[in-house]
């Protein structure tokens, strides 16, 4: 396997740990990414994110979002921090 120096160092440090208990995962913060919920709206499939979606009754094209595919792509983005 080819790996760069940073990856080699990371794997070396990881191999020194006797258990994975020292690796902490903030489950509540990433639950929506690991197990997303979806909603159907006017022929679109959207991620049900934390905040309440304020959606109109039906999709109306605009110059910025001319079709439902673009709307889904814009609405379903997730920021990982």
Over residues 21-74, the pLDDT tens digits come to: 555 666 666 777 778 889 899 999 998 876 667 888 999 999 999 999 999 998
Residue 60, pLDDT score: 93
Among the listed residues 22, 78, 26, the one whose alpha carbon sits nearest the alpha carbon of residue 50: 78
Distance CA 50, CA 32 (A): 8
pLDDT tens, residue by residue, 5-24: 888 888 888 777 655 555 56
Distance CA 60, CA 3 (A): 49
User: Does 2 have pLDDT greater than 80?
Assistant: no
Can you give the pTM of this predicted structure? 0.56
Residue 21, pLDDT score: 54
| Torsion angle of C-alpha atoms 76, 46, 52, 26, degrees rounded to 10 | -60
């Amino acid at each position: 396997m080819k790996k760069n120096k940073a990856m080699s160092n990371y794997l070396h440090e990881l191999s020194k740990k006797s258990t994975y208990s020292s690796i902490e995962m903030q489950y509540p913060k990433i639950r929506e990414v690991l197990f997303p919920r979806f909603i159907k709206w006017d022929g679109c499939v959207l991620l049900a994110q934390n905040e309440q979606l304020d959606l109109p009754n039906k999709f109306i094209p605009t110059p910025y979002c001319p079709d439902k595919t673009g709307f889904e792509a814009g609405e379903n983005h997730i920021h990982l921090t």
